[in-house]
Each structure stands twice: as structure tokens, then as C-alpha cells.
A and B are shown apart, each in its own frame.
Chain A
């Protein structure tokens, strides 16, 4: 994985000192909260419901064992012994003191990490495929491109006060594991007819109040134009995006209101102009980055055999491991969704343990997924049982990847000052209900996603089943959505009808699951059946 050189380290260290100085000026009264707020946000520091919250960047979701361990140490040293992995592949700490924040950033910098631009109206952490470098179906590893974009977007002087936040995802497989088309810019690394590698640009996707699937604006941007084209896309947005209404300020609204064709025309015009400015790093820079993401020294001649004698282990293998490009290896997914647990939360001990396991079993690498789980990307099949036993002894062996128990949930009203309703208790009740009834296995792949407000951090629009928490006269109320997907068949869920109480929504989800079981045809997932039979049978069962 990527290693900082002296320049990268100096940039991050400088940022720590800058923020230390800004924090000092805030605490001494030289800086007002109004002026300090955007500065702390650009260092990932929010003022949340109960305390300050720090969001640490995990660029393209990749961490070394030592970095993961450092995240566990921070949870103990500065927080209350746990962290929360987010749908943007980051980690959040919920109980941070302002006066500690510069020291935390300094601790992060020691392991080549930071919280730069994890909030604010700027370009956020670049996300990517959590199986990058391991997936059998990828064209190339997308992370070198993401790293190039990370450096370009960090401390970007023109794009630090955009109309609104700006999220970029990079993938390099036709199977989309990063919700690419639901980002402000989604980039797919592709090969053209001439066999050259380049980038397809999708611009103007997003969830939130007005969900949109990003349209393709250019099929092929040559690699040596990647930064210049990105700069053109963001400049057109910075100049023309709406600033009169923060709910209409995302680029998706600009692309929608201006029209894809006009937006594209302006980008192309800006791109032609910027080409004359020589702002593109040479391809040599990409070539410098690439070797950091070269394959680790996979052993050859390994057996693909797995001893399935232990039924719990066999179930976990079936559910939580994914095909790897190298024979004899798999990618193993550690579910952070124990039945009745808090989706995405892990204790300091668990975080450190996962770091150690990354070092021991996966060439010193782990990944954070946008579904709030952890991946050990390169595990020998012959060592899976040993790994499983350690996970099992530490509450990390839930065999429920991509099932109805593998719920995405935002922190909701338990932690978030923007939320209208709690998300976590609903997730807990649903996972308990289905684990208890034993229907989880029967339902197969069923992606359930819960947001506690319209901002959609829990990706409810993109769930096969989505749940949106709203405030109805001071009482929590939950709307049900069906038919969303954030994979390569991206679609937005539709609301079934009137909302439910906390217990009512759990019943409604169960009824929807039953409609699927009663109507499915061979091999159909919940989403396939919904798409075939439509909303009506579900509505009838839920409200009838």
C-alpha cells in the first residue's frame, strides 16, 4: 500500500501544526466559532449531539495493520474505547475534546494518517472498491488513481469553499462495490477499443434530499488528463453551483438544472482551456505510485481446499468470504454487525485485534467497506480456520455478509445533531427479529439500509429495503422504501406509503420479506422479485 515520502509527511505534519494554532486561537478567543467552524470541519471535527466528533480519513478504505492498531489506541487514549466505521470508509470517534484534537491529529500523522477534508464544503476522502487489488474481476487496481486524486484534492486552494461537500469514488470493475454512481464524481477506470486505460466520468450523483444517479459525461478521459478533467468538472461547479439554498447546492442539482449536455459542454470548454495550463502531473507520477499497490508475494501452488468439518466455520466461509484473483486465497469480511449490535461500531480491543490479524493473515492490509465492515483482502484458504477461531473468540465472526442482518445504519439521533430519529435501535430490532426467526438464510442477499434523516448517510435510497427516520410532531417515525440498489444496477428506492412507529417498521420489513419469499422465482434475490412484481403486492401485505 501507499507509503508517504518526505513531502507527504511534511504536508500532514504542517496541517497538524496549522490546526494546533487554529485551536489555540479559538480557545484564546482570537477566533470566533463562526470563523473556526469551517476550519475545524476541514479537519474532520464536528460538534455533535453529545460532544465533539472526529472523523478520520481512510483513503480509499485501505489501512495497514499498524494504522488499524493506532486507530484502536486513539479510541482508548482520547475517546471512550470504541470507534464507528462509516459508509464513506472512514472512522469516527464520538467523545472528543477540542483541546485534545491537535494531539490526536499528531498521533495520526505518526502512522501516515489524517482527518484532512473529512468534512466541510470541499473535496472529501476519495473512496474506492474495498476489494481493490484482490478482486478477480477488476481491470486494474483503482487505488493508484485514487491516491493521485487524494494528493490533488488535498489543500486544493481553489476548491476549499465549494457550494457544498464533494465526494469522489474510483472503481475499476464492472461490478460496482463503491456506489460509484451515487457520488458527485464517479470514475470508472476502463479500457478503450485501442486497448488504452482511461477514465469514464460520471458526474452529479448523490443521495440526500434529492437522490440522483450520476449520468455519464465522458466515456474516456486519457490517464494523462485525469487531474485536468477533474479540475474542469469541479471548477464549473464552483462557479455555477447554487449557493442560495444549501439543500440545492450539491453538484447533482447543478447538473440536473443546467442539463447534462450543457454541463458537459462547459466542462469540455474549461478542460480545453486548462489543458494549456500544464496542471497535469506527468504519467511518471502515476508510475511512481503504482508499485505501492503491486500484488503482495502471493504463494503459488496453494490448495483451494477448505476443511468444512466445523459447521459454524463452514457457514462463515460461505457467507463472509469472497473469491480472490489468486488461487488458494480469499478475501475475508469481518462483519461489524453482530445480532443486536451497533452497525459499524468496534471496541478499541477489536480494532487493534483486526490490525494484528491484518498483519498476521493478510499481508499487513485491511480495508473498510462502505457497508461498515472490515475486509482482510488476502487470506490463505488453508489458514482461514485459524483466523475464524480468533474472530469467533472476540465477537467478530457474525456470518451475515450481505444478508438482512448486515444492515447499514447511520448513527442517527443517538449521536447526530442533524438526525430526526434514531437508526441504531431499529437496526438492532430488525437483526434480532430475523436472527431469531431463522429467516436470514432463506432471504439470501438482502441489503437493508437505514438513515435517521433525509441526508441519507445510511444510504436508505439505495437499499433493497430502505428505512428513513423522520420527525412527526416530535415523535420518531419511519418510512419504508423498496427497490434501491447502489451496485452496477443502481436504482433509487420508492416509498411504500405512510410511515410506522419503531416496532411497526420492524413488522413492515418482515411482511415485505414474506412477500418476497412467497413470490420469488428460482434464483431471484429480493430486489429481482421486487423489480418483476412491482410495489403493489408489497403494499397490500404491509398496509392491507
Chain B
């Protein structure tokens, strides 16, 4: 599937297009099909997001998994600071990105 990601213009937070708006959680990301450019242009123009781009991802019972390690690290947070990731209580969360 194709999912759309970017950063919140004001806060810089990593966000994912969830069909209605932008979520901080990659598991909320929805398949944008061939609409990525259209959504990105609209959302950037209304200043909800900056630097939006589409990526490949897969979805299974464990959730949405971006195809490239860079976007998995974006989805989680820095692997060397588990305390600052979106899963601070899970010290093994970093294994997911590899």
C-alpha cells in the first residue's frame, strides 16, 4: 500500500495521513492509492503539514510497516533513545525498525 507522511508545520512532529487528518501513529495510516500528490498538495497549502511524501508500506495484524528503515525510524523515534520514542515503555521497540 501507499501511505502518506510528513511533519506537522508548527511542531515538526512526524505525522501520517489517516484519511481525515494527520496522526502521530503509523498504525493509523491509510492507503492513499494514487491520491498522494493531491492530498499532499492540499494539506501543504492549508499548512497542516510540511514536506509530505508517499511511501510504500505493508499492513498485517501487527499494524502498518513502512517499507524502508528510514520511515520505520521516523515512525518510532530514535532507536538509541528508547525513552524518547513513541513506545518508551518497551525497551525492545527498536527491534521493529530493523
Q: Which residues on A are within 8 Å of B, measured CB to CB?
A: 26-27, 29, 33, 47-52, 80, 94-99, 342, 413-415, 417, 419, 422, 424-425, 428, 474-476
Residue pairs across A and B with Cβ atoms less than 8 A apart, 16 shown, are A29-B47, A33-B51, A49-B14, A50-B14, A50-B74, A51-B12, A52-B7, A52-B12, A95-B12, A97-B11, A342-B80, A413-B69, A413-B70, A417-B70, A419-B70, A474-B68
Q: Which residues from chain A contact B79 at a C-beta distance below 8 Å?
A: 414, 422, 425
Q: For window 22-60 of chain B, which residues contact chain A by CB distance below 8 Å?
A: 44, 47, 50-51
Contact A96 B44, CB 8 Å, known A50-B74, A342-B80, A413-B73 = no
Are A49's CB and B73's CB within 8 A?
yes
Q: Which residues from chain B contact A475 at a C-beta distance below 8 Å?
A: 69
Q: Which residues from chain A contact B67 at a C-beta distance below 8 Å?
A: 474
Of B50, B77, B80, which contacts A50 at CB under 8 A? B77
Bound: A474/B74 CA distance, A: 15
Are B78's CB and A50's CB within 8 A?
yes
**Identity of the chain A residue whose Cβ is nearest the Cβ of B80 in the assembled complex:** A424
- Closest chain-B Cβ to A450's Cβ sits at a distance in Å of 13
Bound: A476/B98 CA distance, A: 9
Are A474's CB and B84's CB within 8 A?
no
Taken residue by residue from 1 to 20, chain B's Cβ proximity to chain A (1 for < 8 Å, 0 otherwise) reads as 00000010111111000000
Are B80's CB and A414's CB within 8 A?
yes
Q: Which residues from chain A contact B7 at a C-beta distance below 8 Å?
A: 47, 51-52
Q: Please name the 3 residue pairs, one residue from A and one from B, whose CB atoms are nearest each other, closest first.
A: A51-B12, A52-B12, A414-B78
The interface on chain B, measured as residues whose beta carbon lies within 8 A of the other chain's beta carbons, has a size of: 23
- Closest chain-A Cβ to B66's Cβ sits at a distance in Å of 11
Q: Which residues from chain A contact B73 at a C-beta distance below 8 Å?
A: 49, 413-414, 422
> Most B CB atoms within 10 A — which of A95, A96, A419, A422?
A422
Bound: A49/B7 CA distance, A: 9
Of A26, A27, A51, A419, which contacts B13 at CB under 8 A? A51
- Closest chain-B Cβ to A40's Cβ sits at a distance in Å of 11
Are B80's CB and A98's CB within 8 A?
no
Bound: A94/B70 CA distance, A: 16
Q: Which residues from chain A contact B84 at a C-beta distance below 8 Å?
A: 80, 95
Contact A51 B80, CB 8 Å, known A414-B73, A474-B67, A474-B68 = no
Q: Which residues from chain A contact B44 at a C-beta distance below 8 Å?
A: 33
- Closest chain-A Cβ to B20's Cβ sits at a distance in Å of 22
